[in-house]
Amino acid sequence: GLWVGVHFRQVCMSFLQLLWYRYYFVLFYRSVLVRMVHDCLTGLSREERAFQYVLTHATPGDPDSILDTFDHWCTEIEFISNIGPKKGLVLDKLLKENCPLTVLELGTHCGYSTVRMARCLPLGARLFSVEMDERNALVAEKIIRLAGFDDDTVRLIVSPSDEVIPKMREDYGVERLDFIFMDHWKRCYLPDLQLLEGSGLLGQGTVILADNVIFPGAPNFLRYVKHSGLYRYRVHRASLEYIRGIRDGMAELIYLGTK
């Protein structure tokens, strides 16, 4: 009887592991295999294909229509790691609660989160969005302008984040950042956060939201935030955008000022 019970538990655990790995296979299939096939068939990048779909299905000048169309494309056609609609609600809520006037986005990608943020900002606010990939930046520029946001509202900067941050004051006249959204290379989260601290761009109460801190993960970033004493923080638990079953989360930081 004991052997049967142990064997049954092992079978159950194996079944649960298969279910767990199934979601990662779906992610690999949608984000890698499907992408490779469509790259070969179309000669376009995944981001360019997404823009073509948005251009032909969304309403120009309507940010919500553009976001909904993007979400449909990412859910039903091809996977792109935008923040997505569910985690996006956390971003929306923080922006509406804090009403930031100067916002920095690290990782524009195709412009989805840029549009999402720009539509929540108060009148007169400015969003600086940084993207190092020139091809993605070209797509993002089209998406942002299609949504109706001009250069006075959204300034797209095509350059590596570690080159932009130290020059924000000199090149763009930014004295303080009220809100920062991180969704670029996860290995850059910690060095860029430390660059922001050293640049003097963080003020008491500056809010920082970092996506994908659980998957693919940013453990060094989370460890630093926890032990630095410079932040009050929490992690918003969620699932990976457009993929059920893969746990993820966003870290919300509030800068307390220097010790």
**Catalytic residue list:** 183, 186, 211-212, 241
Element of type H or E holding 23: helix 2-28
209 within 8 A of 200, measured Cβ to Cβ: no
Q: Which residue has the tokens 């509406």?
A: 96
Structure tokens at 85: 């609609």
Taking only Cα atoms into account, the Rg of the chain, rounded to an integer number of angstroms, comes to: 20
Structure tokens at 162: 């570690």
Structure tokens at 95: 């922006």
Q: What angle do CA 187, 190, 194 make, to 5 degrees?
A: 145
Q: What angle do CA 30, 236, 67 make, to 5 degrees?
A: 50
Show Cβ contacts of residue 56 under 8 Å, excluding neighbours closer than 6 positions: none
